[in-house]
Every structure is written in C-alpha cells, then in structure tokens.
Chains A and B, each alone.
Chain A
Amino acid sequence: MQKNNYAHLKDEEILQKIVAEDNPVLFEILYHRYYHKVVDKVFSFIKDRKKSEEFANDILSKVYEKLPSFKGNATFSSWLYSITYNYCIDYLRFQKKLHYPDWNRQNVIPEIIDESEENLAGASYDNLLKILEIVHPEEKALLLMKYQDELSLRQIATTLRISEDAVKMRLKRARSRVIYYYKQRFAE
C-alpha cells in the first residue's frame, strides 16, 4: 500500500524519501523499475541469461548499499548504469576475456574513413546492434555509455578506470570502427 503511494514519484524523489524517512522498503520500487533493464544490459555483454539475473541482483544490492554515497550530481539511472557497466567489464577483465590493447593491435581498422565523404543517413538501429556485437566489449560499452545512456566523460572514465583523455581517444576509435564496419557490411 505504502509502496503504491510512491510509485508515481521520480527516481530521485524516491531516493530522497528512502534517506529522509529511513525507509528501505521504498527501494523495492526502484528495484522493480530497473531490474529487467539491468538484466538486459548485463546480458548484452556476458550472453548468459541466468548469470545476468544473478548479476542484476548483485548490482542492485550494491547500489542499495551505496545509496548514502549517491550525491545526486547525476540521475539515478545513469549512476545505476555506470555501476552495471563497471560490473560487466570487471567480470570480463577478470575472466581474462578482455584485453583491449591486444585486441586493438590485432584488429587495426583497415581504413579511417573520412566521415565528411560518407552518407550513412539510412543506417538502421538493428544493423548498428549487429556491428556493436563485433567490436570489443569495452568499445561497445563506451559507445552505449556516451550515446545511449548519456553518461558524462568523467563517469565513463571512472567506470572503465581509464583517464578522461583515454575515453575521448577510445570513443573516437570506437566510432571510426563502427563506421568502417557499417560501410563494409551494410552500405555497399
């Protein structure tokens, strides 16, 4: 009953009430609001549905524990997603499945396409998703954090544990790689 009274509130308003009223039960609203979104994000990186559900629970538990440190400089969703990306990338790094410098060395972009001479106006979202599956997971995470979830460069740097300059350089490379692959596979 109490939860229903708050269901219409924005994320940040619920967070304020959790803290002000010392009412952890309200976190369930956020949990249900985001659980499936977090599962889908995790699945897009680790490709294991059962593990994605376990990870989503872990991530949301971690977020709950960290609520006192949430400063409100970003939206709750971007904060939650940055923790989600960090969790996935760390998992893949520790599984030794990710080594960006090695991968980048072995997957040199054959040609940096001059974007001013390209017209990919008809590019489709479905095809973009296919391209994101063939780039390195750290490049995919960079692109999604920046352009889908609108995380700040600082948030992205913290999430991937690289510098802000490295974020800018790698974003540039990730965009170039996507454009190159897109042109190769779908635009010719």
Chain B
Amino acid sequence: METIINLIIKGSNIMPPGHILRSFAERFGESINTEWFIEDEIYEAVFYLAEIEHIARFNAFGELLDTKTNLPLHLIKPPHAAEAAKVGELMNLIEINRNGQLFYELIARDKALIRYYLYLDEAGNLLEKRKL
C-alpha cells in the first residue's frame, strides 16, 4: 500500500538524457512538476505552466514535436464551439501546437451521454470524429 502513496505523491521517476532536458528547459523554463515518459524513442513531459497542464513531446534529438495545452472550456473559439454544439455538451478541450499550426482535440457528449472525440484544425474544420 506504500507503493500507491509513493506513486501518487512522487509520480514518474523517469529521467531523459541531458540534451532532452536542456531542450525542454529552453522552452519551458518556468514549468513545475514535470514528469517524463518515454515511448518509441519519443520523450514526453507532462507539466504545469501558469497553473495549466501541458504536454510537450520531443524526438530523440531533442527537437520539439508538439505541445498540448489543457484549456479551460470557456476559452473555446466560436468555430470549435459550433462543432461541439452539433454533438451536445463540451467536456474537454485540448489545444495542440504542432510547428506553429494549431489543432484542437475536443470531447463532447450528446443527450444520451454518448461521448465523441472531435479533432479540428484552427479554422474549425472537422478532421476526425469518432465515438469514444
């Protein structure tokens, strides 16, 4: 039972190589509570910046692949809100910055509480929709 306490309080203890850490620090120096994860040679940092959860992914060379931000729901832009409204109620909103291009990952649910994943570009064009 001690394990679950340690895991919840300490989180991941994975430490990436120095060049990944330096690349991260150059971009997100003000971050706190950073946890690292590694999958298929992709280094992923989950952290807080300005009290909002972020995810930043780096390749093995330390190049930033994308950044994801867990946005408060009221910050949704009108074209994305309109797409969510076609389903029903917005439940989650993540902004993805990929080389300066913005994309949005939404979760919305209908009246029967069926949830859908919506993936949109900055203009609000629906790129993917699937039932969760």
Residues of A whose CB lies within 8 Å of any CB of B are: 93-94, 100-101, 105, 109, 112, 114-116, 120, 123-125, 128, 143, 146-148, 157, 161-163, 165-166, 168-169, 172-173, 175-176, 178-179, 182
Contact B33 A114 (CB under 8 A): yes
Distance, CA A114 to CA B8, complexed state (A): 14
- CB of B113 within 8 Å of the partner chain: yes
- CB of B105 within 8 Å of the partner chain: yes
Distance, CA A168 to CA B35, complexed state (A): 11
Question: Chain B residues with Cβ under 8 A from A123's Cβ?
Answer: 5, 9
One digit per residue, 1 when the CB lies within 8 angstroms of any chain A CB and 0 when it does not, for chain B 88-113 equals 00111010000000000101000001
With contacts A169-B70, A173-B53 taken as known, whether A163 is within 8 angstroms of B105 at the C-beta atoms is yes
Question: Chain A residues with Cβ under 8 A from B68's Cβ?
Answer: 165, 169
Contact B94 A169 (CB under 8 A): yes
Contact A166 B94 (CB under 8 A): yes
Distance, CA A123 to CA B92, complexed state (A): 32
Distance, CA A146 to CA B2, complexed state (A): 15
Distance, CA A94 to CA B112, complexed state (A): 9
Enumerate 23 A-B pairs (CB-CB under 8 Å) in ascending A order.
Answer: A94-B113, A100-B91, A101-B90, A101-B91, A105-B73, A112-B51, A115-B33, A120-B9, A125-B2, A125-B4, A128-B8, A161-B115, A162-B91, A163-B132, A165-B105, A168-B46, A169-B46, A169-B55, A169-B70, A172-B35, A173-B53, A173-B70, A178-B8
Contact A128 B4 (CB under 8 A): yes
Distance, CA A94 to CA B8, complexed state (A): 29
Contact A101 B2 (CB under 8 A): no
Distance, CA A169 to CA B45, complexed state (A): 11
Most chain B C-beta atoms within 10 Å of own C-beta, residue among A105, A143, A176: A176
How many residues of chain B get a CB closer than 8 Å to chain A's CBs? 33
Contact B9 A169 (CB under 8 A): no
The A interface, classified by DSSP as helix, strand, loop or mixed, is: helix
Contact A172 B91 (CB under 8 A): no
Contact B9 A162 (CB under 8 A): no
- CB of B1 within 8 Å of the partner chain: yes
Contact A101 B92 (CB under 8 A): yes
Most chain B C-beta atoms within 10 Å of own C-beta, residue among A114, A120, A161, A182: A161
Apart from the given pairs A112-B51, A115-B10, A162-B107, 10 other A-B contacts in the complex at a CB distance below 8 Å: A101-B90, A101-B92, A105-B72, A125-B4, A128-B5, A163-B92, A166-B92, A169-B70, A172-B53, A178-B9
